[in-house]
Amino acid sequence: MKIKNIIFKAFTIFSIVVLISCETSETQTVATLTNLVWADEFDTDGAPNSENWNLLTGDGSAEGIPGWGNNELQIYTDRSENVSVQDGVLIITAKEENYQGGSYTSARITTKGKLDQQYGRFEARIKLPSGKGVFPAFWLLGDDEGGNLVWPQIGEIDIMEYLGDEPTTVFGTMHGPGYSGANSITKKYEILNDRFDNGFHVFGVEWSPNRINWYVDGDLYQSITPEDVNEETGGAEWVFNRPFHLILNMAVGGNLPGSPDGNTVFPQRMLVDYVRVYN
């Protein structure tokens, strides 16, 4: 697979800050860390391994952010119909159903308290869903030190986000103080002659003290350093020097990506073959 063009795009609520494009080339090093320190290969059928994963439930109210800060429509559950391991893959399923006052259910699982790691290579092999309003993600969220720190101060690294009505693009994003939400630093990756819901693809970041690299299937498409953040934001703080935990989820509706429409078929499923962490 080749990347022909790398697209910067300002979303409605995402990136306004735009970095200078970094062209891919044969000489670029995509990943250097190869010492596997944590993995879930999803080889045991049933609920996700509780030693690795927390299953979040509800609409975000318990966390103080109803709609998960994005006016999302789904209610997360820990039911097997929304999250389970089958035949070697983790399946997160978004369903259209009346449940606890909502119209959609889905799942959001995190490693908080089970894998909190500073620096490393975080990657997953994922087959994505499709349809307007479907919004899956694989991401890292910084530790809040028992509630003493709040987003965006804690930092967020979106390894992969994807909108179901843009089946050929994913985007990698960084949120921190002064560069979050609409002002986050983000970049799109477009796959050529293929689409992300037709098969599995590897999404990852390599996070080191002074650089974060985003890649898809071995193609590096975004690289951000503290100097970049400093230049683009006029001196905002680099907050990616603390432990972060992993999150996999599938949202439905919200400010981004907008609500499902008549062409969105439910249920929609995100399949995860593995999640691996290296240092």
Q: Which stretch binds other proteins (CB under 8 A): 39-47, 118-126, 190-198, 271-279?
A: 190-198
Q: Does 198 bind other proteins (CB under 8 A)?
A: yes
Phi and psi torsions of 265, nearest 5°:
-95, 135
* Locus of tokens 């975004």: 222
**Catalytic residue (one of 72, 123, 156, 232):** 156
Residue 221 has, within 13 A of its CA and on its CB side, a CA count of: 28
Please say which residue, 191 or 220, places its beta carbon nearer to other proteins. 191
Q: Does 193 bind other proteins (CB under 8 A)?
A: yes
User: CB burial class (10 A; 0-12, 13-18, 19+) of residue 169?
Assistant: middle
Nearest to 158 by CA among 34, 247, 59, 254: 247
Report d(CA 95, CA 83) in Å as an integer. Answer: 11
Please say which residue, 165 or 273, places its beta carbon nearer to other proteins. 165
**Is residue 232 annotated as a catalytic residue, yes or no?**
no
Nearest to 275 by CA among 139, 87, 169: 139
State which of residues 48, 60, 152, 167 lies at the interface with other proteins (CB under 8 A). 167
Site for other proteins in 123-142 (CB under 8 A): 130-132
| Shortest distance, position 262 Cβ to other proteins, whole Å | 9
| Shortest distance, position 179 Cβ to other proteins, whole Å | 27
| Shortest distance, position 260 Cβ to other proteins, whole Å | 12
| Shortest distance, position 164 Cβ to other proteins, whole Å | 8
Question: Is 70 within 8 Å of 251 (Cβ atoms)?
Answer: yes
**Is residue 96 annotated as a catalytic residue, yes or no?**
no
Nearest to 40 by CA among 88, 107, 102, 81: 88
Phi and psi torsions of 170, nearest 5°:
-125, 170
Site for other proteins in 69-108 (CB under 8 A): none
Q: Does 219 bind other proteins (CB under 8 A)?
A: no
Give the number of residues in contact with other proteins, rule: CB under 8 A: 17
Question: Is 132 within 8 Å of 264 (Cβ atoms)?
Answer: yes
User: CB burial class (10 A; 0-12, 13-18, 19+) of residue 114?
Assistant: middle
Q: Which stretch binds other proteins (CB under 8 A): 5-13, 30-38, 51-59, 191-199?
A: 191-199
Q: Which stretch binds other proteins (CB under 8 A): 19-27, 116-124, 158-166, 214-222?
A: 158-166
Q: Which residues bind other proteins (CB under 8 A)?
A: 130-132, 163, 165-168, 191-195, 197-198, 263, 265
Catalytic residues: 156, 161
